[in-house]
Structure 1
């Protein structure tokens, strides 16, 4: 299923799928924040370290299938499948932008 996503989100999911961390870093502002699994990652270096750890620990794919707007956030729901406990699962990705880059991302069920 194909859905229309804002360009920063399309780039985020494409670079994540390709495991291209250098390109993924360009999706975020320098002081961006990511919240995932009860942890908070602040700044681009911490975010890339988080992705590096998740990418080496688990192999996964994400297929976005729904998008909505809630206040100043764009919420994407994606089907996540991989070799992690509880797979598969549908997760919500809450994005907030600063211009054309991601300033804040919160991932949860």
Structure 2
């Protein structure tokens, strides 16, 4: 995904599966968040890789309880029909207290197949 190919999107124009995941994750609703992923999905977060819905469910459960934080969608971009980037601003009791994270989504069959979360 080259920067010159990305199109800025509004949060409302993100695919339903991404907004469902983001809302469920923000609400600590792990069962709903997991439904946004393909069975063999991969998530990369904080240097760790989680493969398959079982591993992703465990990751979501831990991330929901490890720190207390709020998140706000700052921007959204569409690279092509299956690649989206959502930037979220987080504030909470984690080290540093604030951070902007890029959620890089790859979709397949209207579900999340790959998600990379990084600063």
Aligned to 1:93: 103
Alpha-carbon distance between aligned partners in 2 of 1:104 and 1:3, rounded to the nearest angstrom: 19
Determine the structure 1 residue equivalent to 2:22.
13
1:63 equivalent among 57, 66, 72: 72
Deviation for aligned residue 1:52: 0.9
Structure number, greater radius of gyration: 2
Deviates more, 1:41-50 or 1:53-62: 53-62
* Runs of 4 or more above 3 Å deviation: none
Unpaired runs of at least 5, structure 1: none
Find the aligned partners of 1:61 and 1:99 in 2 and give their Cα distance: 30
Which deviates the most, 71-80 or 22-31?
71-80
1:42 counterpart (37, 51, 70): 51
Aligned residues: 108
Q: Tell me what 1:54 maps to.
A: 63
1:31 and 2:40 correspond: yes
Q: CA RMSD in A?
A: 1.4
From 11, 14, 25, the equivalent of 1:3 is 11
Q: Name structure 2 gaps, 5 residues minimum.
A: 1-9
Shift of 1:70: 3.1
For residues 31-90 of structure 1, give each alpha carbon's deviation from its aligned partner in whole angstroms, at most 9, with x where no partner exists. 000000100000001011011111121112221121112354201111011110022111
User: 1:99: Cα distance to partner?
Assistant: 1.6
Residue of structure 2 in register with 1:74 after alignment: 84
